[in-house]
């Protein structure tokens, strides 16, 4: 290629990469995939390697991120917040090691730390005398945005260190680097709540986390399920820190910072490479797009220096892209438990990350209109971890003219009744409360972990119960008999007994869990907790007025009206009467009454799968009886609640001499301490 053509290509690449950096880091609205961006960056690096004289300070290779938003105060970082060069296969890792070994012979015998490459928003956290005083985004690597007040709402962030009383000495000044993110489970729960409330859902956890931290009103940030993982020390003064990366992670953990448990120490590069190759990106509770391989010796890593914006002592091993293009053959619609009608894509089957995908979510009807998605389009589809595959948008440039615009249906596909779109809402609803599709979803929600936590009652059994005409509403679950269950395919004595026991155990769930399970439009877990604090039982809640409910913090006229309408419905009054008759009528617990807190002063950790209680239900039971539940074994742990297939917590408990309890023994402990 002629030099002039190469120069033009290089300048165009710089412009494109700057634009996509802006879309990703500032607007949180990328228009190309990570894989496509990586290819552009790789081509830029190749051109600059051939023509180093072309490199200027404004090249994307010379800085990380993007300029800070003007709405926020700018913060100068005490040291550059660098990004990483990429490796896409095994050979790239060995080539990286060979390069740094030529520069510094000692790198040939180095040991390594391999950490997940977190897909969130990088933050820089400043502590003075143990107190959190400032937090900023990465920005352009030199200057970031001050988001201190928003970060204070992230519960995983320590407002003061040491969090652990027997931890190491804290430097007078400490600046750490981490990633704010949203777990996949929390992201799905957030979108479910938004669907219930008739609001727009979010596309992915990374953009949601980034957008949440850039809110000018920190009260909005506080409503998002943000968490934090810390992995580096940027600067410190007045103290000592470890000189290895593995030591840094242990040091940060000992100070009380949240640190990923998925990092590992590797004695050789071969071990590090094997770790990268064997890692399943779907196994993480949060989104990752690769693994980071770091030289463990931080002194050696610093001596290797930086090339452009990339430190030579670390490299990112990128997982294969989980985005593909395929044909959109049709658009179908589902009916949710509250009657919400949601569209989904029917695709030409395509493999994404080793899984054949035939369907994907389209979020809502507004999304289809905004993206101008048409039946017959070539569409870009993403499958991120265990999250349901979703359509990102159409590939407009390859349209033939045969594509057909989509129209929102006028009638419910399950019962044929009219579909309505309430003013001010994104969602469309089926107006028929007796819609068969809604019954399946209602029951599925009622038995879920977030609600009544009935273990072993999944959607397949729910459909069996409805198909056998045994269940017509949620209250009928408590009238099931063993003989009825034994008539269903796949049920024997033990399975029937276990299910009936799980249903019986659910009667002891607290009031907020039952309110969650009722499936009132707009009332998720948080709203249910607020209602349970305000009303002693469902009788009092059902007798309340809209104006009274609106006095509760967080309840506006729409949700308050929804609650009143639900309790005034004749069909729902019948359900409530049946629940009460079956003994499913919890009273709001008085947590100040010491007699109701037999577990007061005791700390529990839960591991494994319990016979009848979900983990969240077990946690709720312990806390309702005055106990405390933590996530890890420590010197303060009194009991390990032990289920089947326990993890490493059992070994830790044995090492520390912590007593283990079965679910049955926990119930007996509560009973004994009440007597």
Neighbours of 514 (CB within 10 A): 23
Distance CA 504, CA 517 (A): 15
Rg (CA), the chain: 28
Nearest to 406 by CA among 367, 439, 441: 367
Residue tagged 């002693």 (tokens): 536
Structure-token pair, residue 266: 């590797």
Q: Which residue has the tokens 């979900």?
A: 614
The backbone torsions φ and ψ at residue 123, rounded to the nearest 5 degrees and listed phi first, read -130, 150
For residue 347, what are its two tokens? 């695709």
Q: Chain-centre distance of CA 660, in angstroms?
A: 30
> Which of 339, 401, 414, 335 shows the shortest CA–CA distance to 374?
401
Strands 355-361 and 314-318, bridge-based pairing: unpaired
CA distances from 504 to 90, 127, 136, 575 (A): 54, 50, 50, 17
The H or E element that residue 291 is part of is: strand 288-295
Backbone angles phi, psi at 574, to 5 degrees: -65, -45
Q: Which residues contact 270 (CB under 8 A, 6 or more apart)?
A: none
Within 8 A by CB and 6+ apart from 27, the residues are none
Instruction: Tell me the C-alpha distance between 326 and 657, whole Å.
Output: 56
Whole-angstrom CA distances from 406 to 341, 342, 376, 535 are: 15, 13, 10, 45
Q: Is the backbone of residue 426 left (phi > 0), alpha (psi -120 to 50) or beta?
A: alpha
DSSP secondary structure letter of residue 635: T
Q: Is 117 a catalytic residue?
A: yes
The residues facing 265 across adjacent strands are 113
Query: What would the DSSP string read from start to end of 491-529?
Result: --HHHHHHHHHHHHHGGGS-HHHHHHHTT-TT--HHHHH
Q: Are 151 and 134 in contact (CB under 8 A)?
A: no
Distance, CA of 172 to chain centre: 34
Cβ atoms of 114 and 272 within 8 Å: the answer is yes
CA distance 635 to 658: 9
Residue 16 belongs to what H/E stretch? Answer: helix 3-21
Residue 122, CA distances (Å) to 61, 64, 65, 84, 119 in order = 18, 11, 10, 13, 9
How far apart CA 551 and CA 534 sit, in angstroms, is: 10
At residue 107, what are phi and psi to the nearest 5 degrees? -65, -20
CB of 381 within 8 A of CB of 324?
A: yes
Active-site hit among 14, 40, 74, 117: 117
Question: CA nearest 513: which of 559, 454, 431, 430?
Answer: 454
Residue 475 CA to residue 147 CA, distance in Å, equals 48
Residues with catalytic roles: 117
């Amino acid at each position: 290629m002629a030099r002039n053509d190469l120069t033009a290509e290089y300048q165009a690449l710089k412009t494109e990469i700057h634009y996509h950096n802006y879309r990703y880091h500032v607007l949180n609205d990328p228009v190309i995939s990570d894989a496509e961006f990586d290819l552009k960056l790789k081509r830029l690096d190749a051109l600059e390697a051939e023509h180093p004289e072309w490199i200027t300070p404004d090249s994307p290779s010379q800085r990380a991120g993007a300029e800070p938003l003007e709405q926020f105060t700018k913060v100068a970082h005490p040291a550059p917040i660098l990004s990483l060069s990429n490796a896409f296969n095994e050979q790239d890792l060995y080539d990286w090691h060979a390069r740094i070994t030529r520069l510094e012979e000692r790198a040939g015998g180095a040991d390594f730390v391999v950490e997940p490459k977190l897909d969130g928003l990088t933050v820089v956290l400043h502590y003075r005398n143990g107190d959190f005083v400032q937090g900023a985004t990465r920005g352009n690597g030199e200057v970031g945005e001050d988001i201190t007040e928003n970060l204070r709402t992230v519960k995983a962030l320590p407002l003061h260190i040491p969090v652990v009383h027997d931890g190491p000495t804290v430097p007078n000044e400490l600046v750490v680097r981490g990633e704010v993110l949203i777990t996949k489970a929390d992201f799905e729960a957030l979108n479910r709540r938004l669907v219930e409330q008739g609001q727009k859902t979010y596309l992915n956890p990374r953009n949601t986390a980034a957008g949440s931290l850039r809110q000018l009103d920190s009260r909005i940030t506080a409503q998002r399920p943000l968490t934090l993982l810390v992995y580096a020390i940027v600067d410190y003064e007045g103290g000592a820190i470890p000189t290895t990366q593995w030591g840094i992670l242990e040091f940060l953990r000992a100070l009380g910072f949240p640190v990923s448990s998925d990092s590992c120490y590797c004695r050789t590069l071969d071990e590090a490479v094997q770790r990268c190759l064997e890692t399943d990106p779907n196994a993480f509770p949060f989104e990752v797009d690769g693994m980071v391989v770091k030289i463990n010796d931080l002194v050696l890593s610093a001596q290797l220096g930086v090339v452009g914006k990339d430190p030579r002592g670390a490299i990112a091993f990128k997982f294969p892209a989980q985005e593909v293009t395929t044909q959109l053959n049709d658009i179908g619609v589902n009916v949710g438990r509250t009657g919400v009608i949601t569209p989904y894509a029917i695709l030409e089957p395509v493999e994404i990350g080793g899984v054949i995908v035939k369907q994907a979510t389209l979020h809502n009807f507004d999304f289809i209109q905004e993206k101008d998605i048409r039946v017959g389009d070539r569409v870009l589809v993403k499958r991120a971890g265990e999250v349901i595959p979703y359509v990102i948008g159409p590939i407009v440039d390859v349209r033939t003219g045969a594509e057909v615009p989509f129209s929102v249906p006028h009638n419910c596909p399950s019962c044929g009744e009219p579909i309505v779109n309430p003013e001010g809402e994104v969602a469309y609803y089926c107006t028929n409360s007796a819609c068969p599709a809604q019954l399946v979803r209602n029951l599925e929600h009622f038995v879920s972990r977030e609600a009544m936590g009935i273990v072993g009652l999944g959607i397949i059994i729910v459909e069996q119960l409805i198909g056998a005409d045994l269940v017509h509403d949620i209250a009928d679950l408590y009238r099931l008999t063993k003989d009825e269950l034994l008539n269903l395919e796949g049920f024997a004595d033990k399975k029937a007994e276990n299910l009936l026991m799980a249903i019986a155990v659910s009667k002891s769930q607290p009031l907020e869990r039952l309110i969650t399970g009722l499936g009132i439009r707009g009332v998720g877990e948080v709203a249910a907790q607020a209602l349970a604090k305000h009303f002693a039982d469902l009788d009092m809640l059902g007798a309340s007025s809209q104006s009274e409910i609106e006095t509760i913090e967080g309840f506006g006229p729409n949700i308050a009206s929804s609650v009143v309408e639900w309790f005034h419905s004749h069909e729902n009054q019948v359900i409530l009467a049946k629940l009460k008759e079956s003994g499913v009528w919890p009273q709001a617990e008085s947590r100040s009454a010491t007699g109701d807190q037999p577990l007061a002063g005791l700390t529990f950790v839960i591991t494994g799968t319990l016979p009848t209680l979900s983990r969240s239900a077990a946690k709720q039971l312990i806390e309702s009886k005055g106990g405390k539940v933590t996530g890890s074994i420590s010197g303060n742990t009194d009991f390990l609640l032990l289920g089947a297939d326990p993890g490493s917590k059992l070994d830790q408990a044995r090492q520390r001499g912590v007593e283990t309890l079965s679910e049955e023994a926990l119930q007996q402990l509560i009973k004994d301490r009440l007597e």
